[in-house]
Amino acid sequence: MQTVLYIGNKNYSSWSLRAWLILRESHIDFEERRILLDVETTAEELAALGAAMRIPVLEIGDEHIWDSLAIAETVAERWPDKGLWPADQSARAHARSISAEMHSGFEALRNLMPMNCRAMGRRVTLTDELTADIDRIVEIWSDCFHRYDGEWLFGDFSIADAMYAPVVLRLRTYGINLPESASYYPRRLLKSPAMQEWLSAAECEIEVIEQDEVGQ
């Protein structure tokens, strides 16, 4: 059964990165198809994938699954041998909680520091709301560092790592310094061959989405 992942621009699409990274780090064979965002053909191409008009979309045979967290849960269910949630019940509940928190929260971080892999060195104004979001990220990563063995958030790679991967790229782009208790995590994520593959492709893209070109 063919597995296809539809993603947006690698430079900008944080939700696409999450689904893509889960498949790549799990060594699941899939075909990648890119839909350019914010161009004349975007709406038509998204409509062909379903009424939700969202990216990413995972196609497994005749099924279409949209939304990165739904895709993550589907992959974990279809490929249970990949261990995409921690085996320990308590750690699994923790991983699900911080994944859901990222999925539904951090509005200031999303709006004021959009993912833009090519914009290295830019700076943004750290509002109180943005600072609070960054502080919460530091708290989450530091807590995982002290509670679990290994370099990933829960020891081995999990869905939680995919959920926080775009945050690492945001912090990298806008030069946000972290305490040592949290900075271990961006270092680990960025040395992943899959992340390096994504970044290399993102930096080669030429399309520009003006609303995501922020900072100076």
93 contacts: CB under 8 Å, gap ≥ 6? none
Domains along the chain? 3-82 (3.40.30.10), 89-201 (1.20.1050.10)
Please determine, for residue 51, whether its predicted confidence score (pLDDT) is greater than 80.
Answer: no
Query: pLDDT tens digits for 184-213?
Result: 999 999 999 999 999 999 999 999 999 999
Count CA within 13 A, CB hemisphere, residue 76.
19
Q: Tokens 């790229």 correspond to what residue?
A: 169
Q: 216: pLDDT confidence band, cut at 50, 70 and 90?
A: confident
Q: Helix, strand or coil for residue 145? A: helix
Structure letter (DSSP) for residue 51 = T
Please determine, for residue 123, whether its predicted confidence score (pLDDT) is greater than 90.
Answer: yes
pTM of the model: 0.96
Instruction: Please tell me the distance from the alpha carbon of residue 114 to that of residue 39, in angstroms, as a whole number.
Output: 18
Q: Quote the percentage of the chain above a pLDDT of 70.
A: 100
**Predicted local confidence at residue 197, as pLDDT:** 98
**Predicted local confidence at residue 7, as pLDDT:** 98
pLDDT mean over 112-120? 97
H, E, C per residue of 11-64: CCCHHHHHHHHHHHHCCCCCEEEECCCCCCCHHHHHHCCCCCCCCCEEEECCEE
Query: pLDDT tens digits for 23-50?
Result: 999 999 999 999 999 898 999 999 998 8
| Mean pLDDT value across the chain | 96
Q: 52: pLDDT confidence band, cut at 50, 70 and 90?
A: confident
Q: 183: pLDDT confidence band, cut at 50, 70 and 90?
A: very high
